[in-house]
């Protein structure tokens, strides 16, 4: 089995970033670039895409939780 591919919170250069909504569930298949999570930063919603095509195997942050740059949000298993 390959190492999981992590999705990490980017540096949005604003204080008070919150994970607002998961758009896919653990176990769902995704294509690279598919929107998987929404962050709210300074009143703006930022969508993050899947880093690889494969499966979302773990959501590491709950909805409504504060995040800082570099926080691991999710782990994906890349498709073969």
Spatial CB neighbours of 61, under 8 Å, sequence gap ≥ 6: 19, 67, 71, 72, 73, 74
Is the predicted pLDDT of residue 33 greater than 90, yes or no? yes
> What's the angle, vertex CA 21, arms to CA 79 and CA 17, rounded to 5?
105
pLDDT band for position 42 (50/70/90)? confident
Per-residue pLDDT tens over the stretch 14-29: 989 999 999 999 999 9
Tell me the three state secondary structure of residue 75.
Answer: strand
Farthest-apart Cα atoms in the chain, separation:
40
Q: Which domain holds residue 60?
A: 5-78
Which pTM value belongs to this model?
0.93
Domain count, the chain: 1
């Amino acid at each position: 089995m390959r190492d999981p591919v992590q999705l990490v919170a980017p540096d949005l250069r604003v204080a008070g970033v919150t994970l607002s909504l998961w758009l896919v569930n653990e176990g769902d298949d995704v294509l690279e670039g598919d929107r998987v999570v929404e962050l709210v930063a300074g009143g703006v919603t930022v969508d993050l895409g899947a880093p690889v095509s494969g499966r979302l195997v773990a959501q590491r942050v709950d909805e409504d939780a504060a995040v800082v740059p570099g926080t691991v949000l999710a782990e994906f298993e890349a498709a073969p």
